[in-house]
Amino acid sequence: MKIHQKICISCPAGCHLEIKENGDGTFDISGNTCPRGKTYAINEMTDPRRVVTAVVATDSAVTPYLPVKTDAPLPFGSIQTLLKKIYAFKLELPAKSGMLLIENIDNTGVNLILTRGSEK
């Protein structure tokens, strides 16, 4: 049996979770003060995901970078590939907030969107 320690980020409480990984693929979770902690712990152990935030380069000297983010949590395995694409990307201005930049990243259904627009 393996024991993992995680801090839950599902709510502001930040519970310190202890996750016991049983040999049969099940988990015993303790330390959570709400039901979301158990869900978070299981997801972290079986399919960890994160919302990715970054900046993308533009063709403007006035606004050389604009913020972007994924519209849903992305599986860990796809994050490095996405970051390489983001940092190789050059956005032509003008651009509007909410603009879709990369659709269906690694066939996950998750998209990359612009979170702030800018004129030329």
Summarised one tens digit per residue, pLDDT across range 67-104 is: 999 999 999 999 999 999 999 999 999 999 999 999 99
Cα–Cα dist 71/74, whole Å: 9
Q: How confident is the model at residue 120 (pLDDT cuts 50, 70, 90)?
A: confident
The separation between CA 106 and the C-alpha centre of its own chain, rounded to angstroms, equals 14
Average pLDDT value for residue range 10-32: 95
Which distant-in-sequence residues (6+ apart) come within 8 Å of 92 by Cβ?
A: 58, 59
> Can you state the percent helix, strand and coil of the chain, rounding each to 5?
25, 35, 40
Nearest to 17 by CA among 89, 36, 94: 36
pTM above 0.85, yes or no: no
Q: Is the pLDDT of residue 64 over 80?
A: yes
